[in-house]
Amino acid sequence: MKLKLKFKKIAICASQKNNQIDEIAKQCCEVLKSLDVIVYVNDNLSSVVNSTKSKVVNDKTLKQADLMVVIGGDGSILGFARRFGSLGIPLLGINLGNLGFLADIAPENLTSILTDIAYGKFKKDKRFFLEASINSEKRPYIALNEIVIHSGKVAQLIEYEVFIDEVFVYRQRADGLIINSPTGSTAYSLSGGGPIIHPDVKAITLLPMFPHSLSTSPLLVKDTSNIEIVMIGSKNKATLSMDSHNSLSLKKGDSILIQKTSYDLTLIHPRDHNFFSACRNKLGWSSAIT
């Protein structure tokens, strides 16, 4: 009995250009073409078109893909997740970075894993986005990992008040505040001493950055919470950033509303994917002390 393809149109994408990425993209195209999959590539992979008979397409056509394969590290996944994953297109990551929690397929395992996934042998992983709006503006900005309010300078404090579901929580002076999803718990928040959160846990973390207090701890709230940050300091400027992108200036009196979006990102993983195994391998858990 012939197996039925799960994905008929697959886009191969990269945010950078180099020989290693081209070679992997070429291999992806050859594997998928052999399965009679329609293959699109983005403009950064134009050099593989002639040898693989693939087609460079624009963003409008990329949006028609049933699956998007992203070659690169987690930074690349973040960019394509905001642009295409937020539209409902599943993403599969081939990891070329040093510490990838989103892009988890090693290039040496590509052929067998990509074939399995094309035929529907994979795990689905749902992740929620965070969105932020300033002063009730209608167009929110989205992030997969974290939304950060910070001073933008070393050792410079900003002052703000935090409300959860319209309930006052605290007033604080700090270098900044990281508001992250479980996906972001292994990113910037981790470097700041925040907790690692399993992706299935429906929570949002608030992690102050170098707070001017001796009693401040990370705070976890339910993922349906409405988080409001009100800027009250007048001396120093502050900046709002989403996944280190879309940096916006904040001023005294600005109100930032942060909540999860109504849509999710779907990540595709090999069937043997395991979050705790990824933590062991990438964070050095269980490593011998020498």
Per-residue pLDDT of the chain (290 residues; tens, 9 = 90+): 567 999 999 999 999 999 999 999 999 999 999 999 999 999 999 999 887 778 899 999 999 999 999 999 899 999 999 999 999 999 999 988 666 789 888 888 899 999 999 999 999 999 999 999 999 888 899 999 999 999 877 778 999 999 999 999 999 999 999 999 999 999 999 999 999 999 999 999 999 999 988 888 999 999 999 999 999 976 778 999 999 887 899 999 999 999 999 999 999 999 999 999 889 888 888 776 55
Strands (E), the chain: 9-14, 38-41, 55-56, 67-72, 91-95, 123-134, 141-143, 146-150, 158-164, 167-174, 176-180, 203-209, 219-222, 227-231, 238-242, 245-250, 255-269
Q: What is the pLDDT of residue 177?
A: 97
What domains appear along the chain, each with residue ranges and CATH number?
A: 9-122+270-283 (3.40.50.10330), 129-262 (2.60.200.30)
Which one from 22, 74, 243, 254 is the annotated catalytic residue? Answer: 74
Q: What is the pLDDT of residue 136?
A: 86
The yes-or-no answer on residue 223 being catalytic is no
Q: What is the pLDDT of residue 53?
A: 77
Q: Do 94 and 24 meet the contact criterion of CB atoms below 8 Å apart?
A: yes
